[in-house]
Structure 1
């Protein structure tokens, strides 16, 4: 299993959010391949389930925004979805890619040497969904290279009960009163805090409980206007990294994140190729 607390040894995991997505691709092979080439440790992907029970890698519940199709994924069989191709969310011209089954993406990213953060987005009852996820991870020899993530902490609690040994990450948009207590309630291994809610005391409390700290940053251009007004959040992130407060940066632009970590005098953590 890869280290989820690498900041203790001056290293940082860099995660490509849906891969390296600034060229218009997301949750597809070009995004994952480029993330690996640029030096990512992991990629975050999103799971959806089709009408006939196939898990596919796609962010939205509807096809309309980022594919050539329309409608709800949950109302279509995989054979129908397999005929479609991806399109860029921002209108950039790209070569459309297949909407791939989870097992194919697992194998592809395993061969690239990437770990994965697998976000479960669907609502479901019982453990059949979790059983599909865990079974495919084991078949692909990716069980030890994956974090299961969700905004739904009940899902994270339940998958730990269903598959002891699996590791999880809770996604958090808020400034919690006691982040470590929230993390412990779901037995999570990592908690991600999105900008702008991150603060040093969040990281310190999580680290005191041996819970990894992840921080999601918007794209660098998001901060450009603010920097023009004299507010430079990157200076704060630099200080957080140098102080060992962050174990993983999650960003759309993998190349920028890798360069930022290096400029801070730190190393990007790599997964053990023997995993």
Structure 2
């Protein structure tokens, strides 16, 4: 099975993460998957922000969960021409046949399981919560929280899930295993032993891309979709330094 490229927070090595422009560029570069992180605002809206605070990625300061959507919309995010935080609903509009969106729910958070409940409700409104089968689902839900993955399985059993993990062993739940690239470097037998397809994050170096390809990793999450695709297609020598 071919290794598929998932744009981690968009083409985030080229443009500011979690901006519409970064995701549009990733699709132009040939990514067949998009990855985002979601958090809840104080007024219950799902927005695409990785950090607990807005300080690193916007012109503001503060904690996402205590800010309203309108307050987040007053800020500039990355290099965007206009103020406004990226809503998950806006990202759903980019989906076309053959493109998957991998949604990571962040934990621990102020609102706990409400994040997954709101996510499933939004997907249901867009007729995305009940795919015909998991393999063809345009949405995959992920988390580092075992409880979050189980909540998604309970609320929307037809949605595929990923149990993300770092360098330690993770509970054997989810339709896909989600190890870090550090884990695969240290334990190349992981993929064979996983017993299910593997989603690996975050894979930017050519040698790591080739490692994933050799091991049979199904999805690689990368900040560099274009460069990663070049390596997978064999158009970049293995010894070429990363860009």
Give TM class, smaller chain: 0.7 to 0.9
Tell me which residue corresponds to 1:150: 143
Say whether 1:200 aligns with 2:171: no
**Residues 151-190 of structure 1 mapped to structure 2, 5 A cutoff:** 151-176=144-169, 182-183=171-172, 186=173, 188-190=174-176
Contact conserved, 1:33 with 1:112, CA < 8 A, in 2?
no
Q: How large is the RMSD of aligned CA atoms in angstroms?
A: 2.4
What is the CA–CA distance in structure 2 between the aligned matches of 1:40 and 1:115, rounded to whole Å? 9
Structure 1 partner of 2:121: 135
1:119 maps to which residue? Answer: 104
- Segments of 5+ residues of structure 1 without an aligned counterpart are 1-6, 88-92, 221-232, 265-275
TM-score normalised over the length of structure 1: 0.75
Task: Name the SS for the 1:148 alignment partner.
Answer: strand
Distance 2:15 2:98 in 1: 23
TM-superposed CA distance for 1:138, in Å, is 2.2
Inter-CA distance 256–134: structure 2 relative to 1 (3 Å threshold): same
Q: Does 1:257 align with 2:228?
A: yes
Give 3-state SS (helix, strand or coil) of 2:182's partner.
Answer: coil
Q: Which has the larger radius of gyration?
A: 1
- Deviation per CA, 1:174-205: give whole Å up to 9, x if none: 142xx6xx22xx3x011121122113321011
Distance 1:197 1:126 in 2: 28
Higher relative helix content: 1
User: Where does structure 2 lack aligned partners over 5 or more consecutive residues?
Assistant: 130-136, 236-243
Indicate whether 1:76 and 2:67 are aligned: yes
Total equivalences in the alignment: 226
Aligned mates of 1:124, 1:75 — CA distance in 2: 9
Question: How far is the alpha carbon of 1:149 from its aligned partner?
Answer: 0.7
2:89 match: 103
Q: Is the 8 A contact 1:49 1:55 kept in 2?
A: yes
Which of the residues 214, 219, 228 maps onto 1:248? 219
The change in CA–CA distance for 1:35 and 1:141 in structure 2 (over 3 A counts) is farther
Say which SS state the counterpart of residue 34 (structure 1) adopts: helix
